[in-house]
């Protein structure tokens, strides 16, 4: 029958496609990987990744958390986490992450001069990503947060296809232009069978520090509307606040610098929502 013929063709296509995919291999010592992504740059993804990593640790002091900066061209984790220097090597020639605020961090920024541009073609970028994934001694981690570069290109595909990912979180502002790319990011993860845990609405509202009037500079509920369209959850809203920017620029993220602030509480809530949606980790 034609239906059985169609099914046979689909099976054959799936087998051919699967041959071209690399086998997923867990990162040694890491129980669960959470990726933070955005289709578009400039939506506060790295700031969110840093504060969520710190919030995961703050919410449960028994958990060990790592942070991997997968943005080869524009690494920002070293500055935000107030870390400098080259990683030491273990006897097995693996890089030891640099550590601050209890978070183990690895970034291309530790391997090149701070002001030096990375002028590389795709193959060199992929080789660097492979090294950051496979040649780092993370020790024992409960969560590894990966700060992805913006977009839906080689790096995102390589990470998604090489390691098992427990879940992805999409960061976006409520602005229409950002939402278009956020949707592409969510759809990309679905195509490569990575569960999308939910969306974070960043820079959702600005409160005037003098008169306390609230303004939705980038729009009010764009990310919430997108979440409904995609059948996904909103993990939380983060306000547009000068303290968030200043604290990360100074290498003292708001979750550790001002843990009682509304901004820090927003990140702590998002981290809690992420953990609630993760599958049960391997023993």
Tens digits of residue pLDDT in 103-113: 999 998 888 77
pLDDT value at residue 100: 96
By DSSP bridging, strand 65-69 and strand 234-238 are unpaired
CA distance 145 to 232: 20
Query: Residue 140, exposed/middle/buried by CB under 10 A (0-12, 13-18, 19+)?
Result: exposed
What count of Cα atoms within 13 Å lies in the side-chain half-sphere of residue 242? 4
CA distance 127 to 134: 10
pLDDT of residue 253 exceeding 80, the answer is yes
Contact by Cβ (8 Å): 97, 138:
yes
pLDDT band, residue 128 (cuts 50/70/90) = confident
Q: Which of 85-89, 195-199, 230-234 has the lowest mean pLDDT?
A: 230-234
CA distance 126 to 120: 10
Percent of the chain with pLDDT over 90: 39
By DSSP bridging, strand 206-207 and strand 214-215 are antiparallel
CA distance 3 to 189: 29
Contacts of 276 (CB under 8 A, 6+ apart): none
By DSSP bridging, strand 98-100 and strand 103-107 are antiparallel
pLDDT of residue 216 exceeding 60, the answer is no
Q: What is the mean pLDDT of residues 255-270?
A: 93
Q: What is the mean pLDDT of residues 140-164?
A: 86
pLDDT of residue 273 exceeding 70, the answer is yes
pLDDT of residue 90 exceeding 80, the answer is yes
Rounded to 5°, the CA angle 97-99-100 comes to: 155
Helix or strand run (H / E) with residue 128: helix 122-134
Q: What is the mean pLDDT of residues 252-278?
A: 94
pLDDT value at residue 276: 96
Report the chain's mean pLDDT, rounded to a whole number.
83
pLDDT value at residue 97: 96
Query: Residue 243, exposed/middle/buried by CB under 10 A (0-12, 13-18, 19+)?
Result: middle
CA distance 72 to 132: 10
Contacts of 247 (CB under 8 A, 6+ apart): 253, 254, 257, 258
Contact by Cβ (8 Å): 198, 246:
no
pLDDT value at residue 204: 66
pLDDT value at residue 213: 58
User: What are the structural domain ranges in the chain?
Assistant: 28-277
Identify the three-state secondary structure at position 231: coil
pLDDT band, residue 162 (cuts 50/70/90) = confident
Q: What's the CATH class of domain 28-277?
A: alpha beta
Encode pLDDT of 15-58 as tens digits.
655 555 557 899 999 999 999 988 656 677 899 999 999 999 99
Number of Cβ atoms within 10 Å of the Cβ of 25: 11
Q: What is the mean pLDDT of residues 61-75?
A: 90
CA distance 61 to 83: 22
């Amino acid at each position: 029958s034609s239906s059985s013929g169609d099914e046979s063709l689909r099976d054959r296509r799936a087998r051919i496609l699967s041959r071209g995919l690399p086998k997923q291999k867990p990162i040694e010592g890491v129980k669960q990987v959470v990726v933070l992504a955005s289709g578009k740059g400039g939506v506060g993804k790295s700031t969110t990744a840093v504060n969520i990593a710190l919030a995961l640790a703050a919410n449960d002091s028994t958990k060990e958390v790592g942070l991997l900066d997968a943005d080869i061209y524009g690494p920002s984790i070293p500055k935000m986490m107030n870390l400098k220097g080259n990683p030491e090597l273990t006897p097995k020639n693996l890089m030891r992450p640099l550590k601050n605020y209890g978070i183990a961090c690895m970034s291309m920024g530790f391997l090149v001069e701070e002001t030096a541009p990375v002028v590389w073609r795709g193959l060199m970028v992929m080789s660097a990503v492979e090294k950051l994934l496979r040649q780092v001694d993370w020790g024992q981690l409960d969560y590894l947060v990966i700060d992805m570069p913006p977009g839906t290109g080689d790096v995102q595909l390589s990470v998604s296809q090489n390691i098992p990912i427990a879940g992805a979180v999409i960061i976006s502002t409520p602005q229409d232009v950002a939402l278009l790319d956020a949707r592409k990011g969510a759809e990309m993860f679905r195509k490569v069978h990575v569960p999308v845990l939910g969306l974070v609405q960043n820079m959702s509202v600005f409160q005037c520090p003098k008169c306390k009037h609230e303004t939705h500079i980038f729009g009010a509920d764009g990310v919430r509307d997108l979440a409904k369209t995609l059948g996904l959850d909103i993990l939380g809203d983060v306000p547009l606040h000068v303290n968030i920017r200043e604290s990360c620029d100074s290498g003292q993220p708001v979750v550790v610098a001002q843990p009682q602030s509304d901004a820090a509480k927003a990140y702590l809530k998002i981290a809690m929502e992420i953990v609630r949606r993760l599958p049960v980790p391997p023993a």
